[in-house]
Amino acid sequence: MENSRDQGRPGGRKSAGGKARRQSERLIMNAAERIFAVRGFSGATMEQIAAAAGVPKANIHYYFGTKKNLYQRLIRDICEEWLAAAQSFDDDVPLRALRGYIEAKMDQAWERPYGSRLWANEILAGAPFAAGYISAELHEWLLSRERIIGRWIVEGRIRPVEPRTLIYMIWASTQHYADFASQITLLNNGKALDKESFLAAKRSIADIVLNGLAPLSAKNSP
């Protein structure tokens, strides 16, 4: 009656499993995200991850098979979450869409900084695992938003700027607060940025960008 396909290494079923499995996987993935974010794929060791998760090394292999596999799961996870922020760029009022997007990206940098850093590390390494996702979903999203921004420019609703540069600026400026957190901390007398300073930065970034885009007419008078 027992089906041997279903025990032992994962993969027998799609990726289901009891709550014990799910719980262990979550524990390991959280630890792995931190370690990979700091050391990169090749720099991280399974032992460091095991120690951070508080489990024996062998358990990680039991649940994820290989280091590569574990890493890929995280990349996929981060891509999926990224889509959430991407959706917030969707109002038809330029300044509202852009402010919403900037705020969503900043919230993400605050709430899941290690995800952002893992991504940065992956890109620095040449995007060996994320390339497919970038060329497909991300590229598509980028093109669609460029079209929207282009339309706003034609309609005179924002100042003429290169849409792509604008989007890169938003990515860079928001992710900076996660990716360069250790530098920011050192420049803040060794104290990590508190929530208030972070919120101030969020507003400030949005203000600079949005003022930079305000059309020549319709100046914002008090």
Interface contacts to DNA, rule CB under 7 A: 7, 17-18, 20-21, 24, 42, 44-47, 55-59, 61-63, 65-68
Rounded CA gap, 179 and 106, in Å? Answer: 12
Distance (Å, rounded) from C-alpha 202 to C-alpha 104? 10
The token pair that represents 179 in the structure block: 């990716």
Binding site partner of 38, from DNA, its own copies, none, Cβ cut-off 5-8 A by kind: its own copies
What are the tokens at 72?
């890929």
Which phi and psi (to 5°) does residue 63 adopt? Answer: -85, -30
Q: What is the DSSP letter of 138?
A: I
> Nearer Cβ to its own copies, position 39 or 112?
39
> What's the closest the beta carbon of residue 43 comes to its own copies, in angstroms?
4
Q: How far apart are CA 145 and CA 195, in angstroms?
A: 30
* Interface with its own copies (CB under 8 A), residue from 117, 145, 149, 152: 117
H or E element that contains 185: helix 181-186
Q: Per rule CB under 8 A, is residue 186 in the interface with its own copies?
A: yes
* Maximum alpha-carbon separation in the chain: 77
Closest to its own copies by CB, 34 vs 64, is: 34
Please give the Cα distance from 9 to 5 (Å, whole number): 9
Is 59 or 142 the residue whose CB approaches its own copies more closely?
Answer: 142
Q: Which of residues 150-179 bind its own copies (CB under 8 A)?
A: 159, 161-162, 164-166, 168-169, 171-173, 175-177, 179
2 binds, among its own copies, DNA, none (CB under 5 to 8 A by kind): none
Minimum gap (Å) between residue 30 Cβ and its own copies: 18
Distance of closest approach, residue 66 Cβ to DNA, in angstroms: 4
Per the CB < 8 A criterion, the answer to whether 70 and 64 are in contact is yes
Would you give the distance in Å from CA 110 to the centre of its chain?
Answer: 10
Question: Cα–Cα distance between 203 and 195 in angstroms, integer?
Answer: 12
Residues interacting with its own copies, by CB under 8 A? 37-44, 117, 120-121, 123-127, 131, 134-135, 138-139, 142, 159, 161-162, 164-166, 168-169, 171-173, 175-177, 179-180, 182-184, 186-187, 190, 200-201, 204-205, 207-214, 216, 219-222
